[in-house]
Chain A
Amino acid sequence: MKTIFSFLFTGFIAFSYGQEIQKDTLPANELSEVIVVGTKTPLHEKQFKTLASVDEFLQKSNKIDLIKRGAYAWEPLINGMATERTVITIEGMRIFGACTDKMDPITSYVEVSNLAEATVSSGQQGTSHGNTIGGAIDLRRRDGSVQKPGLDIALLTGYESNNNQKIAGAGINYKNETFYINTDVMFRDADNYKAGNSKEISFSQFTKMNLSATSGYKLSENKLIEGSVIYDKATDVGYPSLPMDVSLAEALITSLKYEVKPLGGKIRSWESKIYFNTITHTMDDTKRPFVPIHMDMPGWSDTYGFYSNVKAHFNDHHLSGNINGFYNRSVAEMTMYPADPNENLMFMYTWPDVRTLYSGIHLEDHWQYNSNSALTFATTLGYHGNEVASEFGLQSLQIFYPEMSSTKSRFLKSFSTNYSYENNGLISGGGVAFGERAPSVSEGYGFYLYNSFDGFDYIGNPNLKNEQSLEANVYIGKTYKKWSAKVTSSYFHIKNYIIGIPDPNVAPMTIGANGIKIYAALDYASIWSNDLTLKCTLNDHFTWTSKLQYYLGKDNDNGNLPFMSPLSYASSLGHSQNKWNGMLSVKGNATQTNFNPTYGEDRTPSFAILDASIGRKFNWNANRIQVNAGVENMLDAYYSTFTDWNNLPRMGRNFFLNISFR
């Protein structure tokens, strides 16, 4: 412990030189993006679909795309990079899905009723909670300690016509001088959805229930202790683009936080948290009409962790330090049932009880060296250890790696420097960074994981090197009268890029599979992500917003990387006047021509869809009622996007109605 503190201290000393100009408020980190997610903020009332799913909220970010395997539990991509290259946290807590087929990204275990916002950080700017390549999303709840005193009750309800989705929720919040409690419940139940032209997508139903409670107690004027629980249970979730569905996805997410804020003097806040979460995920093929062999594939993931975060101001240096650690246990099994019931069951570990111990430290100095310019230096150093705890599982993997030992440890580093400039409506900046990540459990230790996208069985590789990213980013934006525009561009040169490479010498296990891919490292790959945002305030009531996004990903043979956004656009005209708001928007993609058949991709045709919505606020005694209604995919287009797993068609025309009462 002493070592840790002395390390922190040396860090502060090292960074605390400089000029005397003091600025209290920081300009928002220009490469991070905060998006409103959820119902626990007054801002949500300005949303056009207040009870949209967490995924639909995240989709609004310029940096995020979502891989869709059904109507539920979409997998977020940041800068075109999926789960293993990103860090997704709930208020700083590390959580790992329990599904070997990525059917349960952790965003599927929360609800809009829990959340207030999501902070999306690109590349190495997202390393404060762990090592990442693509970036980070931190999902944040509303700070219960700053709500208005008294009792506050909210009722939420909604309906979506396309898949007969029924939404119901309630929240009870109470606060007095020393104590507060926020509780909420949310329930969703949906049938199969229909793609354009009323084509029903079988196995796209879902049912989800989410409960959460957060309670805090003020120990003194500036000291707070807060406990929090989220319980999420999804049952009967269909995954139409996968060969299996999910009968149960259950998460219990708990934490205890101690916060000191503000401290007198230079230290502004100190927040520490211990947390535990456990996930159970059970796949189910019993409802599918034809399966070559019935199988059970349960998975479990338990994580214990902590972090302690200090923020301090030394003159014009805004420092933050974070030490954090977690211990995760990931187990997944596969049991296959032979047609002959007298035969023994076929059993294997697909995740061989992999334990991961991570301890890291993150230090950041934002140096506002004059009133227009700032430099940010950040570093993250982490120790990452893996152990295969199951002897059975270790021996299984030793079929492929006879010399493999049960443990492997790595040291992960990240360094970044960013410059930002702001003057008279012009913002600009850029930075360079280096980062590393360890292979995920599947990449390191997966055993015959079938990927229905390319039709290969994947085998993990415990000998993989750290994946390393060299990153450069620039942005420039200008606000001029009623117009504002901003362009950001990030370039990642990723060394030892981890991806499955076919091994023709090994035969697949899954019936009908195309072959075996072993996780290996390409010498390098590069990803270039670009986006443009345009805003225009037309008059007091009308705002026009447009976004463009274009990604390019290449491997070392100049082949395309999967899930790179073709030119994609969204343009919307928003209107708000008195208690009314309304929106008309168009969004679409150009044809995806930069696909790669090796990774299971094909050409995705272009599409454009139209959405419209209208909302009104009513005041009724002391209560407020917010009603939103709208139609999505107004012209009932039949389409799929570059992130739709196996070209799963998206939802057709959908009318929705959301009502919140508080």
Chain B
Amino acid sequence: MNNFIQAASLHLLFKLQMKTSLNYFVAVIAMVFTFASCSSDDNNTTNPTNELDGLVKIQQFDNDSHTIELYSKNGLLQQGYNDINIRIKDKQSAAYVKNATITWKPLMHMTMMTHACPYSALTKTNAAGTLYNGFIVFTMPQNTTEYWDLEINYIIDGVNYTAISQIDVPASAKRTLNTFTGTDGTKYVVAYIEPTAPKVAVNDLKVGVWKMENMMNFPMVNGYTVKIDPRMPSMGNHTSPNNVNAVQANPGELYTGKLSLTMTGYWKINLQLANTSGEILKGETVTDAVEASSIFFEIEF
């Protein structure tokens, strides 16, 4: 019995040693975290310019009374899903407007016609702040003769204003957008949103699905399923386990799923779009004979 107790305490001793070093580690992390969160709290309340932390200005444009500033994480717009922040500066007072009601309208000017694309409403990021946030899914890139412009309409204290400017929307290097006509005859837009920094892990996947009602209206599609099959074409087209197809948690929301990536490199995420009754509207199952689906996303990391 004594032996057993001694053995148990020996065991505990080793455990304790391991734990002690772990405790130090946790303490250090906690301290770092505390300092970090303190400083960011302070800045948020006292210095609103730090709203721009992690954001880069894309461009700015004017009307007579205001300057419109556009921001994104990388300072660029491109074909596909774009998370965009806007703020409005009063030219006279040089202050940023906090009480505007803003709408926007991206428009593609093609040689024969114009059309819009899926985009969200603009909402204020922070009640006390100056930033307004939304997304636009540019369904095609600009070219030498065709371009996008962005019209901003806003109301401040009951007065309507408008500003408009051409914007730069180059093609994306990797495919992050699929526009196609489904077997139901409807034209759909399926866009890749997250992960923006993929890892060798189970990544949280976010995609968006919209349909084209007409040239100007692209409402979100509810209740569909975006089936995913990530593959590595450079290595025997192998797949990965435990992926979860993207679905909506609630109508009107973006679609979320799980994307497993077992190594770095170039992945092709083969897609199939299924409607509410599970019918495949577009996309093929990948098999030995079918190397890829006709709709897919690409990521490389």
Contact B235 A344 (CB under 8 A): no
Inter-subunit contact A336/B202 (CB<8 Å): no
**Contact stretch, chosen from A33-41, A64-72, A118-126, A398-406:** A398-406
Q: Which of B10, B199, B260, B301 contacts A7 (CB 8 A)?
A: B10
Within 8 A of A (CB), among B124-178: none
Q: Is A385 a contact of B18 with CB atoms below 8 Å?
A: yes
Residue of B nearest to A359 (CB): B14
User: What per-residue 1/0 map shows which CB atoms of A336-366 lie under 8 Å from chain B?
Assistant: 1011100111111000000001010100000
Chain A residues with CB below 8 A from B14, complex form: 357, 359, 383, 385
Q: What is the 8 Å Cβ interface bit string for chain B, positions 254-265, against chain A (1 contact, 0 not)? A: 000000111111
State whether the Cβ of A496 lies closer than 8 Å to any Cβ in chain B.
Answer: no
Segment at the interface with A among B27-35, B179-187, B237-245: B237-245
A346 touches B235 (CB 8 A): yes
Most buried by A among B9, B235, B240, B266: B235
Query: Considering the complex, which residues of chain A in the window 387-412 have a beta carbon less than 8 Å from any beta carbon of chain B?
Result: 392, 395-396, 398-400, 402, 409, 411
**B residues less than 8 Å from A345 (CB atoms):** 264-265
A448 on interface, CB distance cutoff 8 Å: yes
Stretch binding the partner chain, chosen from A130-138, A282-290, A508-516: A508-516
Whether A396 contacts B236 in the complex (CB less than 8 A), given A347-B265, A383-B14, A448-B262, comes out as no
Whether the Cβ atoms of B234 and A398 lie closer than 8 Å is: no
Contact yes or no, B3 A10, CB < 8 A? yes
Chain A: minimal CB distance from B158 (Å): 53
Query: Does B39 count as interface, using CB distance less than 8 angstroms?
Result: no
Given the known inter-chain contacts A339-B234, A344-B265, please indicate yes or no for A4 contacting B10, CB distance below 8 A: yes
Is residue A220 within 8 Å, beta carbon to beta carbon, of the partner chain?
no
Q: A3-B6, A381-B7, A511-B235 given as contacts; is B201 within 8 A of A398 (CB)? A: yes
Residues of B contacting A: mostly: mixed
The reply on A11 being an interface residue by CB < 8 A is: yes
Q: What separation, in Å, do the CA atoms of A292 and B236 have in the docked complex?
A: 8
Give the CA-CA distance A4 to B14 in the complex, in Å.
11
Bound Cα distance from A4 to B260, whole angstroms: 46
Asked whether, in the complex, the Cβ of A505 is within 8 Å of the Cβ of B200, the reply is no
Alpha-carbon distance A467/B15, docked complex (angstroms): 22
For the complex, is B53 an interface residue (Cβ under 8 Å from A)? Answer: no
Q: Are A509 and B2 in contact (CB under 8 A)?
A: no
Given A361-B10, A398-B202, does the pair A346, B238 have CB atoms closer than 8 Å? no
- Judge whether A14 is part of the interface by a CB distance below 8 angstroms: yes
Query: Judging by beta carbons under 8 Å apart, are A512 and B236 in contact?
Result: yes
Pair B240/A399 contact, Cβ less than 8 Å: yes
How far apart are the CA atoms of A507 and B234 in the complex, in Å? 16
Q: How far is the CA of A21 from the CA of B241 in the complex (A)?
A: 66
Q: How far is the CB of A282 from chain B (nearest CB, A)?
A: 19
Q: Which of B3, B235, B301 contacts A338 (CB 8 A)?
A: B235
| A577 interfacial contact with B, CB 8 Å | no
A151 located at the interface, meaning its Cβ lies under 8 Å from any Cβ of chain B in the complex: no
| In the assembled complex, B300 has its CB within 8 A of some CB on chain A | yes
* A6 interfacial by beta-carbon distance below 8 Å: yes
Q: How far is the CB of A577 from chain B (nearest CB, A)?
A: 56
> Which A-chain residue is minimally distant from B4 (CB atoms)?
A381
Closest to A6 in B: B6
From A6, A392, A511, B200 is in contact (CB under 8 Å) with A392
A458 to B202, CA, bound (A): 19
The answer for the CA separation of A347 and B261 in the assembled complex, in Å, is: 11
Distance from A312 Cβ to chain B, minimum over Cβ atoms (Å): 17
A293 close to B (CB within 8 Å): yes
Nearest B residue to A336 by beta-carbon distance?
A: B235
A506, CB-defined interface residue at 8 Å: yes
B-facing residues in A608-644 (Cβ within 8 Å)? none
Which residues on A sit within 8 Å (CB–CB) of B266?
338, 343-344
Chain A residue with the shortest CB-CB distance to B264? A347
Establish whether residues A399 and B235, one from each chain, have CB atoms under 8 Å apart when the complex forms. no
Residues of B close to A507: CB separation below 8 A: 238-241
| Interface pair A400/B241, CB less than 8 Å apart | yes
User: Does B13 have its Cβ within 8 Å of any Cβ on chain A?
Assistant: yes
A396 to chain B: which residues have CB within 8 Å?
A: 200-201, 262
Knowing A343-B234, A508-B238, the reply to whether A399 touches B199 (Cβ < 8 A) is no
B234 engages A346 (CB within 8 Å): yes
Given A6-B6, A7-B3, A395-B200, A383:B11 Cβ within 8 A: yes
Bound together, the chains give a CA A510 to CA B235 distance in angstroms of 8
Taking the complex as formed, is B55 at the interface, i.e. its CB lies under 8 A from any CB of chain A? no
Task: Let me know if B262 and A338 touch, CB within 8 A.
Answer: no
Complex: chain A residue closest to B300, CB-CB: A344
Closest partner residue, chain B, to A402 (CB atom): B202
Say yes or no: A348 contacts B264, CB within 8 Å: yes
Does B100 lie at the interface of the complex (its beta carbon under 8 Å from any beta carbon of A)? no
Q: Which residues of B are interface residues toward A (Cβ below 8 A)?
A: 2-3, 6-7, 9-11, 13-15, 18, 199-202, 232, 234-236, 238-242, 260-266, 300-301
Question: Which residue numbers of A lie inside 8 Å of B, CB to CB?
Answer: 3-4, 6-7, 10-11, 14, 292-293, 334, 336, 338-340, 343-348, 357, 359, 361, 381, 383, 385, 392, 395-396, 398-400, 402, 409, 411, 447-448, 505-512, 516
A-B contact pairs, 11 of them (CB 8 A): A6-B6, A10-B6, A344-B265, A357-B14, A359-B10, A361-B10, A383-B10, A396-B200, A402-B242, A409-B15, A506-B241
10 pairs of A and B residues whose beta carbons are closest in the complex: A395-B201, A346-B265, A511-B236, A338-B234, A348-B263, A7-B6, A506-B241, A347-B264, A399-B260, A346-B263
